[in-house]
Structure 1
Amino acid sequence: MLKRLNIKNGDELSILGFGCMRFPTKNGSIDEERSIALIRECIHKGINYFDTAYFYNGGKSESILGKALQGGYREKVKIATKLPPFMVKKLDGAKSIFATQLKKLQTDYIDYYLLHMLQDKAGFERLNNLGIIEWLEELKKEGIIRNIGFSFHGSRNDFEEILKSYSWDFCQIQYNYMDVNNQAGKYGLQLAHSMGIPVIVMEPLRGGRLADKLPKEVISEFKSYSEKRSPAEWALRWVWNHPEVTVVLSGMSDEKQLEENVKTASDAIPNSLSEEELKVFDRVMDIMHRKTKVPCTGCSYCMPCPFGVNIPACFSVYNDKYLLNEKSSKIIYYRTLGGLSKQPAYASVCKGCGKCESKCPQHIEIRKELGKIKKEMEDFITNTALKIARKYMKIS
């Protein structure tokens, strides 16, 4: 198992991290015994970074990880878990959640603690005003938390604002060969690295969709290369080819996936992909873009929208619904477009001014496409639920 150096604190972290969100199941429920065995097998194979969260697997993820790390395993690994901002209204609430997390994980310290799924600077400032950051810094001084970071799903501009709002120890972003220009993207990856902030990558396979839900043309393109690799291996190697990446998380749900990923992680050196291999990815991405509903390349020339619509993100989520047969497209839509941020960037925010269309190099009828997205992706029930949540969290 290859390791990469955390450029901020000197930790040697396995390039493959275990994402504790997709444990093995049995009869529709988590197979706890098998999950514990899988976690321990990960450690035996050299994985030393485990990522969980307060509400993963219906709140069971931290408990299972905690059980698995008993018997001397805890000292061999780094635990990353997260504080869910949407569940925090007061500082005491955050303290209560953290105390529960320590108990579930059966540990007295957390190596990497994240503010879960920050979407904009206003969300960070809300937590800061509640005293959350000051409290986390106190825990860090006491050694109860070793590193303070955040995970992110949102626009590139929001990522940059959050990144520059605080002296972070690390950050976690979604990144894969389909998200070069989406969310934080390559720009965010390189920005964080230039600021000396380690980057943990999640969703390298888009929740498995880049492994087993690809168009047949893409699969044929991968098969055309002389060395036979699975789509999952291709996707992971692409992420690991970036020297700015510290750890890549994978939610491995069975032993076969673990075996394959560990093998790939044994020789995935930065900048090791050949010119021929990179050309395979160019052709794959070209196929994916040609099969999309809206021919947006994510160049962001249309931005900023004077009314706050995140046009590239709207198109990206909409395209994924059809290109990758995305079943959770509405959830991803509201999450990515800031459902719980100060200023959501939905398609419905569009006022039809048309300024974006004159800047689009693809000559997309942006207003027309946003109208389709609004009709298909936004619904009364979800909008109402988010309004209630925003009121509860005092987001105006």
Structure 2
Amino acid sequence: MEYRINQRTKDKISMIGLGTGPLFEAGEEEAMQLLETAYQKGINYVDLATAGGKTFSYLGKAYSSVRDQMLYQIHFGADYKTGEYSWTTNLDTVKEQIDWQLKELKTNYIDYGFIHCLDEQSDWIAYQRNGVLDYLLKMKKQGVVHHIGLSSHTPKLAKEIIETGLVDQLMFSINPGYDMQYGEFANGSTSERMELYRLCEAKGIGISVMKPFSAGQLLNAKTSPFKKELSIYQCIQYALDKPGVLTVLPGIGNIKDLEEILHFFDVDPSFRDYSILGELSPEKTTGTCVYCNHCQPCPAGLNIGLINKYYDLAKIGDPMAKEHYLNLDKKASDCIACGHCDQRCPFHVKQSQRMKEIASYFNE
């Protein structure tokens, strides 16, 4: 397993976490085996926006003895009174459900208490008006909640809430389909979504990625908006390459799926290469560097993806981006304009021209 650090909380988070959506459908024996295997393989981050209530008791039994080694994101607004997931902003229900979840999980604290699933401005207003936000903040003041998170599918609203300074972790749906404006949760334009990812990195806010496979649609040519099957490894790498992303949370319901996903770290890099998207993407989404580094190797030795990333972050006010850029061994001014990157860029970015722009920005 490999790990990334949330700059605001300093938590070390496994790059692949556990999405528990389908876990409640497993029998207890298989669920326990899956959770034990995930722990042994180094997974330490678990999302508890699951599809059914049995999941909580499974985790309580599996991880209570190693609770201090696990990180849970628990949602203030997820309701399991019927046994299956539903959504609420009713304060009494939220309180009841949080008490119940803590009991089932056999824990007395929450690593990341999440403002849950706000997609409309009216959701945010109701969350505040009904007292749910105040309750979450009270739990944080009491030490029950260690950090505040937010789950959303809407970049504009997510940005608004992030700007309040409340949020340390964002759960957001990131995959090629949504980012290129295909699918139910493809809210916001391509540029709006990328701006959100950069804003999170600039503020040190980690992103945990939900729906990396678009509910499996991207893994089947018949359902993929690109009319071509992508692999789980391409989708995971795509998400991990976005600014701010710390962990990808695929929904895992059986051992076979878990083992296949964890092979991500072992497979040849060619299996993770998603440059084919450049041929499949709509014209309106091309021309933007997504830091995939498919343009490598640069004949002049530039890390083109990193140079682009620091430039984009610097432009939105990340105070550390310029320093990181200036510490690079090779900078944009070292570009020899050979055109190698222009020819190889699957997203049709004119990188040679962009290197001049970046060098000018940093006064080289």
Name the TM tier (shorter chain): 0.5 to 0.7
Q: Deviation digits for residues 191-241 of structure 1, max 9, x if unmatched? A: 222232211111111112222355699687x7xxxxxxx711111111112
The TM-score, its normalising length taken from structure 2, stands at 0.66
Q: Tell me, what secondary structure is at the counterpart of 1:80?
A: strand
1:127 positional shift: 2.0
- 1:179 alignment counterpart: 178
Match of 2:63 in 1: 69
Structure 1, unmatched stretches of 5+, are: 223-229, 290-295, 300-396
1:267 offset after TM fit, Å?
A: 8.2
Alpha-carbon distance in structure 2 between the residues aligned to 1:59 and 1:120: 26
Q: How does 1:24-173 map to 2 (within 5 A)?
A: 25=25, 30-53=26-49, 56-70=50-64, 72-84=65-77, 86-90=87-91, 92-154=92-154, 156-173=155-172
Give the deviation of 1:297 after TM superposition: 5.8
Q: Report % sequence identity.
A: 26
Contact 1:67 1:105 survives alignment (8 Å): yes
Residues 1:190 and 1:217: Cα distance change in structure 2 (over 3 Å): closer
Which residue of 1 is the match for residue 337 of structure 2? none
Amino acid of the structure 2 residue aligned with 1:175: I
1:99-156 CA-partner distances (Å, limit 9, x unpaired): 11111111111111112211134322322233322322222232211111111123x3
Distance, in Å, in 2 between the alignment partners of 1:216 and 1:88 is 34
What is the TM-score with the length of structure 1 in the denominator? 0.61
Question: What SS does the aligned partner of 1:46 have?
Answer: coil
Any idea what SS the aligned residue of 2:13 has? strand
Work out the CA distance in 2 between the residues paired with 1:218 and 1:167: 37
Deviation (angstroms), 1:93: 3.1
The code of the aligned residue for 1:122 comes to S
Provide closer, same or farther for how the CA distance between residues 46 and 266 of structure 1 changes in structure 2, counting only shifts above 3 A.
farther
Give, in whole Å, the separation in 2 of the partners of 1:6 and 1:266.
24
**How far has the Cα of 1:42 moved from its partner?**
0.3
| Partner amino acid, structure 1, of 2:90 | K
SS at structure 2 position matched to 1:179: helix
* Aligned 1:1-396 pairs, distance under 5 A: 1-23=1-23, 25=25, 30-53=26-49, 56-70=50-64, 72-84=65-77, 86-90=87-91, 92-154=92-154, 156-181=155-180, 182-183=186-187, 185-214=193-222, 231-265=231-265, 277=273, 279-285=275-281
1:109, 1:144 within 8 Å by CA — same for their partners in 2? yes
Q: CA RMSD in A?
A: 3.1
* Per-residue deviation, 1:10: 0.5
After superposition, the Cα gap between the structure-2 partners of 1:134 and 1:61, relative to the gap in structure 1 and judged at 3 Å, is same
Q: Secondary structure at the match of 2:7?
A: coil
- Does the C-alpha gap of structure 1 residues 212 and 36 become closer, same or farther in structure 2, counting only changes over 3 Å? farther
Aligned equivalents of 2:176, 2:56: Cα separation in 1: 30
Q: 2:276 aligns to what SS in structure 1?
A: helix
Rate the CA distance shift 1:119–1:219 in 2: closer, same or farther, 3 A.
closer
Q: Gaps spanning 5+ residues in structure 2: where?
A: 79-86, 181-185, 288-364
Q: Given residue 133 of structure 1, which amino acid in structure 2 is its aligned partner?
A: L
CA distance in 2, matches of 1:218, 1:298: 14
Name the count of aligned residue pairs.
270
Give the Cα–Cα distance (whole angstroms) in 1 for the partners of residues 133 and 224 of structure 2: 48
SS in 2 for 1:69: helix
CA distance in 2 between partners of 1:259 and 1:183 (Å): 32
Q: Take 1:148 and 1:212, find their aligned partners in 2: how far apart are those partners?
A: 36
User: Relative to 1, partners in 2 of residues 1:239 and 1:217: Cα closer, same or farther, differing over 3 Å?
Assistant: closer
